[in-house]
Homo-oligomer: A and B are copies of this chain.
Amino acid sequence: MTNNAQTSTSNPSDELLTFFKALSDSNRLRILGILANQPMSVEQLATALNLSASTVSHHLAKLSDAGLVSAKAEGYYNIYSLNQTALEEMSQRLLKKENLAQVAEPVDLESFDQKVVRDYLASNGKLKALPAQGKKLLAILRYIIQAFEIGKKYPEREVNEIIKKFHDDFASIRRYLIDYQFMQRENGIYWRIK
């Protein structure tokens, strides 16, 4: 298991996650349903749901963490009730596309390219092979094209030299760079266009 060492500082998606996790159990949904009709004590809920008091208490703690219910001491009963405002606010605030889009950590859109290139690069800096086609070839081409300056004019001989640093089959790669619109050519002169 690799990834995200999840930052210790609570980010907005922690809040989302707590909210959804609270709602992702059938007995907790039943509890909310009951509390939407009338406030109740832990013991009453336990009887109504045929669960132990400790289990209900555990569920209520999760719902409470998510801000969905709140308790009011009454005698030695703890009367829980639905926190309706939180429910509606949450659903409106959290479930919009704009907000969701921000939930994603800054996605490294380059990472796919980087992985492909890493996989294909030998330790001498040359490519072990050329991907036959598709997305991986494009990733490699995006990598190679960076060896050229945008706008600068290169004679074909120089283009070949630069490409050869990556792979011996400079002819194929040069053609790909043209085909996929990374370069343009006129009278044996090449220039990078993106």
Residues of A participating in the B interface, judged by any CB pair closer than 8 Å: 2-4, 6, 13, 16-17, 20-21, 23-26, 29-30, 32-34, 36-37, 41, 43-44, 47-51, 75, 77, 82, 84, 87-88, 90-92, 94-97, 100-105, 107-109, 111-112, 115, 134-135
Contacts and interface: CB of A to CB of B under 8 A. Distances in A.
A107 B34 contact: yes
Contacts of A51: 2-3
Contact of A104 (B34, B90, B108): B34
Contact of A37 (B16, B50, B104): B104
Contacts of A101: 33, 36-37
Contacts of A77: 135
